[in-house]
Amino acid sequence: MSLQSYLQEQRKRVDARLTQLVPPETQIPSAIHRAMRYSLFAGGKRIRPIFCFEAARVIAGELNPALSQDVEAVSCALEMVHTYSLIHDDLPALDNDDFRRGKPTCHKAFGEANAILAGDALLTLPFEVLASLPHTPAEVKAALVAELARAAGTVNGMIAGQVLDLEATNNGATKDSLTPELVEMIHRSKTAALFRASVCMGGIAARANEQQLAALCRFGENAGLAFQIADDILDVESSTEALGKTAGKDATQKKVTYPAVHGMQRSKEIAAGLIATANQAVEPFGDRASRLKELAHFVVARKA
């Protein structure tokens, strides 16, 4: 199956399960469920859930029905947390964006209060999903919960990255203060942490041993950082129409990005090097990791 056909098939699979896991729009209070579903089904690529699926397959091969059902739920938990972060990132107090995936952002469509609460709901529901996995032992559920909580948290997690990003932007980062160490710290926390969790959690769900899990986590962290660098590059090179969000905003807001620190060509070289490092980490898995490697190349070669 071609990569594009595979991605389309997996997106449909994720969307079908998200439809089941998230309360319907008619469920009271309906306003919050409409806002949650509006942002969840706004056309995301489902990259993190797909990485989760593939990591599980690297460990277990073809997934039996019970494991497949639970990995689907794990992947949806990751997508909910990702969507929460986008809703909150777009708020006026943070990035103040009007468009996301070519549609008005959640706070533009539903008001700022409902957007905040929709984000809160999409951060809490995933932990209920993980705690309710029907075919997963309690100790594995606990490991999944811990991994996702770390990725979303304040110590090398998404919130840490967001705070560091805000501080750098609000303090008027200059050419001298934009150091390679700072930009890497922000990106590893803000974006790579959830990518790492996506791959690690697929491995955890499939009962990876310690050595296997370490290899998957190295892959996820490096692929995740490469993804964010590619995102920085697209903000410079692509258009608002192609991205579905405001292009060129990083430079306007003086964001701490790889192109701002390293320039475009060097940023592309760093991203390519990270993908090579990621793929090397899963080399011991042989052919089972071929799709995972293909996905890693896709995240830096994408045009939107």
* Average pLDDT along the chain, 304 residues, taken 10 residues at a time: 91 96 96 97 93 97 95 98 96 90 92 97 98 98 98 95 87 65 92 96 98 97 95 78 56 75 92 96 96 93 76
Residue 245: predicted pLDDT: 52
Residue 137: predicted pLDDT: 97
Residue 21: predicted pLDDT: 98
Residue 252: predicted pLDDT: 56
Q: Is the dihedral of CA 253, 84, 164, 199 positive or negative?
A: negative
Residue 172: predicted pLDDT: 60
Planar angle of CA 104, 148, 121, nearest 5 degrees: 40
Q: Provide the residue count of the chain.
A: 304
Dihedral in degrees, nearest 10, Cα atoms 75, 234, 1, 209? -40
pTM of the model: 0.92
Distance between CA atoms of residues 196 and 188, nearest Å: 9
Span 134-144, pLDDT tens digits: 999 999 999 99
Q: Which residues contact 272 (CB under 8 A, 6 or more apart)?
A: 226, 300
Residue 169: predicted pLDDT: 79
Residue 132: predicted pLDDT: 97
Measured from the Cβ of residue 43, the count of other Cβ atoms closer than 10 Å reads 11
- In the chain, the domains with their CATH numbers are 3-301 (1.10.600.10)
Distance between CA atoms of residues 87 and 279, nearest Å: 31
